[in-house]
Amino acid sequence: MNFTPEEDKILYQGAALLGKYVGGHGTRWSMIKALLPERTDVTIKKRSILLETKMKSEITQFLISFESRYGGARREGTVKEIKAGPAFDLRYYLNWYNSKVSEDTVQPPTAQKYLKR
């Protein structure tokens, strides 16, 4: 069974965040498994390793973007503080980040008139 683009996104973003904030071995696969319950641990691990190799620059860009957005959101008080280690809430931070990306790609109608100059 092939992985969907949405599953790949969960894998590479999730593995990147877990590598940074959780570390360790094994823990991160079980945390990703909770997000992809229909996948086995072995397929998650193999696919994640493949994506880490194939998508190095995308993963680096994701982490830079995540850190930047997180810093701004913490200053504004719109995101909860990251708890590193096993207490890291992967689902929360992936949902938070991806909802912010969606908001950023939608331009309000008033912004359009300023871009036409």
Question: What pTM did the predictor assign?
Answer: 0.81
| pLDDT tens column, 17-62 | 999 999 866 557 788 999 999 999 899 999 999 999 999 999 999 9
DSSP letter string over 32-95? Answer: HHTT-TTS-HHHHHHHHHHHHHHTHHHHHHHHHHHHHHHHHHHHHT-SPPP--GGG--HHHHHH
> Of 81, 101, 103, 102, which is closest to residue 92 (Cα–Cα)?
81
> Of 2, 37, 46, 83, which is closest to residue 15 (Cα–Cα)?
46
pLDDT of residue 26: 58
